[in-house]
Structures are given as structure tokens and as C-alpha cells.
Amino acid sequence: MRTALEKARKDPESMKARILAAARGVFGEYGFHGTTTRMIAKKVGIDISTLHYHWGDKKDLFEAVILDMNRDLGRELIEVEKSIHGRPLGERMKIAIAMTTDYLFAHPEISNLVLHRYFSKTRHEVNLDFKVTEFTGDIARSMGLTTDPKKTPPQGMLEVLTVMNGIHNFVSGENFFRPMVKLDREEYITMVKETLQFVLIAGFTNREGKELQKV
Amino acid sequence: MRTALEKARKDPESMKARILAAARGVFGEYGFHGTTTRMIAKKVGIDISTLHYHWGDKKDLFEAVILDMNRDLGRELIEVEKSIHGRPLGERMKIAIAMTTDYLFAHPEISNLVLHRYFSKTRHEVNLDFKVTEFTGDIARSMGLTTDPKKTPPQGMLEVLTVMNGIHNFVSGENFFRPMVKLDREEYITMVKETLQFVLIAGFTNREGKELQKV
DNA sequence: GCATGATTCCATCATTTGATGGTCAAAATA
DNA sequence: TATTTTGACCATCAAATGATGGAATCATGC
């Protein structure tokens, strides 16, 4: 399956890649059990047997989707880290929130998939590393929430999760939340960024201020 | 169905109530499509035909579950509001976060169901009011995030959603996050509360401080 | 052009799953 | 007690769904 993924990545026009892209979207919207292989095949405009030919069974395809999504998310986080390197904490967070929010709104299926995996059980075990721990630790280090670069303390992990999940929530919940506030998409995205920056940053900068005072 | 719900509420030992309780749990864990009527029936220890006899089809049962969960959540929010009434903002939020977190960790299927409805589509439309808008507005007013008690501005709604979802995330994602931080359940709950209070409150109290200075 | 392998679809299967009819026992009612 | 109503289960159905075999088609290298 690893090779299949690589093939799909090489040529985005290939059938493998088209199926993978469609699967990302549908699995994201409906979850694993809410998605049928027929739904994916229909979206691509092919027969289900073609789908199975390229990706094996439903679980294999799902795992490929997770790996693929994981890679994209990881790359984006690296981009973010590049952009914030060296700046003061408040600014780092502000930029990181804005960049990540924009990116995820452009690829909402990523947030969908992430949240599904957090909150939903699958009847048959899907065993995948998912890299969340790794990513979370990286972000924590990048935000200076830990001194030991090897392992992040629980507190730092939960703090990062609070921020990341705050973003995912508004991206993935757009269909639900946007009608509540009656904004068009652009306004919604802007207001989400402002709200997240307003709510999520102050705690961290306040703490840093206190620590600096001590010194 | 309304009547069936009332019957179930009257006698928690009744078959209707037992099915409803089991359904809450299973729908919460696996989502609508991930749940089979057989899973629920098995959990109760009855035949599926008995389940259908009491609750009609799967969608009817699911809607009853949502209504039931909704009522419980609404009641809890009223309790919270009673406890925080009249206190200063920072304290209000601290207590509200602590109470709500404790309550939801004691009834995690509520968070599960809420998040599933936010983030997951259902193949066949389930039409339910879900009261989120109402609840969110109530909380916004209770937190003093709006001057007009009739309608809450989008900003206030998103701010409340940020906080509520922050809580739901850690409750519903316990199976995923707790192994990441290697804490036992009690430690995890304590640290979640501390983290949420740390991250989510400062923005609001900072702003209030600024507004007070202006006056 | 032709042979070989890769790809796609059609037809079909087996299993899962939502749902129901009919039977029987228990409980309520007369 | 006799009768009706309610509640539970067994057997079974129909549709949905994951999956596959095999034929047909297309592409590629010779």
C-alpha cells in the first residue's frame, strides 16, 4: 500500500490519485462507516471494482487516506514553523493560528478526518500511528512550551491540543456553525481567525510575561 | 415519539428507558452509521424486534436520543448558570469550565453525540433542531458577551463555541488523548480542567480589564 | 501489427443490516 | 375466570454493501 500511495502521489491525474482524493473527501464528510465504496466510486465516476482493483478493500483505502492526509498536515506544520521562527510568542501564535486556519479551510477534509479519528470508534480496529503525538510534541517545542526537546510534558501537550482542536472545530463544523452566525464563508473564516486569536493567545502571553518578571 | 420519550423518562427501569440509555452510549461511540440496531439490542440483552417495537426505526431512536441528550445538557447549563450568577467574569468562567467538564466526563456520551452532530454528515437527513444556537446564546448572555439579550452577535457566539467545544474535545477524545499524555483518568480530568482554564479565560478577562479602564 | 500486461466494467455473490409478521407468554382488564 | 392488551422473541425478508471473477478494452514494448 505504501507503493500505491507513492504512485498516486507521483501522478495526481492517475486513477489511484483521483480515487484517493475522492475518498479523502467522502470519508471526511461521512466517516468510515457512513461512507460506502459506491459513494467514492460514484464521485470519481468509475465502477467499484476499479476502486478495489487500485486500493484493495475499504479499510486499506481508508488507511491510505489517513497516511496521505497525515503527510499533508505534517508538511503544512513545517511551513508554519518556518514562518514563525524567531518571533516573540504572541506573534508566533497569531501567525500560526492564521496560517493553519487558512490552510485547513482550504482543505477541510483534513480537519474532518482528524476529528473523526479523535471522536469516533470504528467497528473493526484500524491500526494507524496517526502521528498526532509527534505533531503535537513538535508544535509544543516550536511554541516553547517545553524545555526538554525530547519529550513534552502532559500540560504542554494538552495546551497544544486545545489550540489545534479549536481550529479543527470551526473548519470541520462550518456547516453547522456558519448558519448559526449567518455569515458568508469569507466573513466566517475571518471571524474564526479573530476569535481564535482572541481566545487562545492571551493565556500563553500572560504566563510568559509573569515568567519574565520573575527573572 | 414525544410520548415514548416521556414514558421512558418516567420509569428509568422500563424497557424503553433501558434501550434509550444503551442507544445514547452506542450512538455516541460509533456515530449513526457506525451503530447497528443489533449492537444496541445486544447491549440491552434483547432482540432487535423488541427495540423496533418500542422505538420505531433506527432514525426515530436516534432522534429520541438527541432530544434526550439535549434536555440533559440544557438542564446542566441551567445548573451552571445558577452557580456562577453574580460573580466576576474570571471566576464565572473558572467555575463554569470546572462544572461543565466534570459533568461531561461523567456523561461522556453527551460530548460524543454533540461532536458527532457537528462534524459528521448523515446519509439520510436527520432533521432536528438540536438547540445549539439557543444554548450558545444563553451562555453568551450568561457570560456577559452581549448587550442585546435577544440576539447574540456572531463574535460572541463563536467565542462561546470555542470554550464549549474545547471542553467537549477533551471529554470525547479521552480515548485518544489520554494515552498520549500517559495519565490515569483522574489526573487527566484534573489536568484538562486546569489547561482549559489556563488557555480559555485570560482573553476574556484581559478584554474586560481594558473595557473597564476605558470607563 | 502483435503479444503481453494493465485497466476497466458488468454481473454476481455473501454478508450485514434495517425492518416486520406471526407466535406465545405475561399482564392488565373486565 | 375469561378476554383483551401489551410485550418479547424467533424466523425471515428485502435492501444495502463489501467484495470478486471474468470478459472486454486499452496501453505498451517488441
pLDDT in tens, A46-73: 999 999 999 999 999 999 999 999 999 9
Residue B161: inside a domain? yes
* B186-214 confidence digits (pLDDT tens): 999 999 999 999 999 999 999 877 776 66
Lowest-confidence region among A76-85, A92-101, A107-116, B126-135: B126-135
CB B46 within 8 Å of CB B58:
no
B160: in domain: yes
A32 pLDDT more than 90 = yes
Closest partner CB to A169 (pick from B121, B123, B165): B165
Residues 30-49 of B with CB under 7 A from strand D: 45-49
- Angle (CA) A173 A179 A183, round 5°: 100
- Say how many domains are in chain B: 1
- Dump the DSSP string for A9-44: HH-TTSHHHHHHHHHHHHHHHHHHHH--HHHHHHHH
Span between the terminal Cα atoms of chain A, in Å = 53
Query: Is there a domain that residue B102 lies in?
Result: yes
Decide if B158 and A172 are in contact by the 8 Å CB cutoff.
no
> Residue B142: inside a domain, yes or no?
yes
Partners of residue B170 in chain A, C-beta under 8 Å: 158, 161-162
Asked if the Cβ of residue B92 lies within 7 A of any atom of strand D, the reply is: no
User: Is residue B167's pLDDT more than 70?
Assistant: yes
Banded model confidence at residue A115, pLDDT cuts 50, 70, 90: very high
The set of strand D positions with any atom below 7 Å of a protein CB reads 7-11, 16-22
Output the pLDDT for position A213: 66
Going by C-alpha positions, the residue among A70, A145, A118 that lies closest to residue B179 is A118
Q: What is the pLDDT of residue B163?
A: 97
Measured in angstroms, the CA of A9 and the nearest CA of chain B are apart by: 27
Q: Do B120 and A121 make contact, defined as CB atoms within 8 angstroms?
A: no
**Which residues form the domain of B180?**
2-206
Q: Residue by residue, what is the 3-state secondary structure of A124-147?
A: CCCCCCCCHHHHHHHHHHHCCCCC
Nucleotide minimizing C1' to CA distance for residue A47: C9
pLDDT-above-90 percentage for chain A: 77
pLDDT band at A1 (very low <50, low <70, confident <90, very high): very low
Q: Stretch A148-160: mean pLDDT, rounded?
A: 90
Grid coordinates belonging to A198: 482572541
pLDDT at B215 over 60: no
CATH number of domain containing B66: 1.10.357.10
A55 and A17 Cβ atoms separated by less than 8 Å: no
- Confidence tier at B121 by pLDDT (50, 70, 90): very high
